[in-house]
Amino acid sequence: MKLSILAGKLNGKLEGPDGDIEVEGVSTLQDAKPDQICYYGNRLYRKYLKSTSALAVISREMVESSAANIILVEKPYNAFREALILFRKETPSGFSGIHPTSVIHQDSVIERDVTVKPNAVVDARARIGRGALIGAGTFIGPGVTIGRDTVINSGVRVYHDCVVGSRVIIHSGAVIGSDGFGFIADPDGHLKVPQNGNVVIEDDVEIGAGCTIDRAVTGSTVIGRFSKLDNLVHIAHNVTVGSGCLIAAQTGIAGSTVIGSGVTFGGQSGITGHITIGDGAVIAAQAGVMKAVPPGVTVSGYPARSHMKSLRVNAALADLPDFRRKVMKFMEKFSNTEEE
């Protein structure tokens, strides 16, 4: 579409002479071609502004750039997202409907407009909502409920009696409802604790590739509405994740922890069990959380503490070698004085 039309769709103001030129796509500052637009919002990439080949740059403010056109918007990243949606290439599947190699139990319920791809299995008493998609090689266990317009990609395993809401996206390799890590130590062999509960994934959740969410001992492990899990996240049994949480890759949350709404977890953070993390808290990357976190607090480090305190501790640790040398010199001098 023409650059001027695109700027209007992004609710932006076009500054530049090339409003009638056709835009062919979206790229980065570094890689953009002369018929593409890009986005600037992070000062780390400022150095690329004067060398980009882009037709236009989406920005919050006027910037010096080799691009002849600037699209001024209030929220550049949101506008960039909208541009990506507008120029997204559709990659339709070659399969539709119920593939003949899939195995659908006669006691399951498949609503209208459902796609079940090759070699998928839908077990007894499962219910698949209207417009849902079940990927190739996916297993939907007995008694599972899948909501409307949910997309479950290839190679996903959803164990028995779990509930998946509407408009959920589950990426390949995820396992929903596997047994929680529950054992009683015994000298004759650890005794397995039955995991009799299930997993409930509420509406509009996205679960990344390779995630594992354990079923509850009793009751439910819950992932709240609008929460987003990155790849390789592990949620243990009886955890409750509130609505709108963001959980980055390789995070692990131990059993029976209660997480409020709007909590953010950095990558590789680890959360002990049986604690509460309040609404709006932020857990920094690689933080080791050993106790409850109040609402709205940012914690970092291992063991996790308030972020400002962690910064002070890290600064003190950086000075520790010099401090040690000074102490050793003092001790040497003090020892010599005592001998004299």
* Catalytic residue numbers, as ranges: 237
Cα end-to-end distance, the chain, whole Å: 89
Q: Which residues have CB under 8 Å from 103's CB, separation 6+?
A: 120, 121, 122
* Whole-number Å distance between alpha carbons of 319 and 165: 52
Q: DSSP for 39-72, please give it.
A: E---GGGGGGTTT---SEEEESS----SSSEEEE
SS3 (DSSP) at 240: strand
Structure tokens at 106: 């006669």
- CA dihedral (283, 253, 222, 134) in degrees, to 10, reads 100
On the 0-12 / 13-18 / 19+ scale of CB atoms within 10 A, 294 is middle
User: Judging by DSSP bridges, how do beta strands 282-283 and 139-140 pair with one another?
Assistant: unpaired
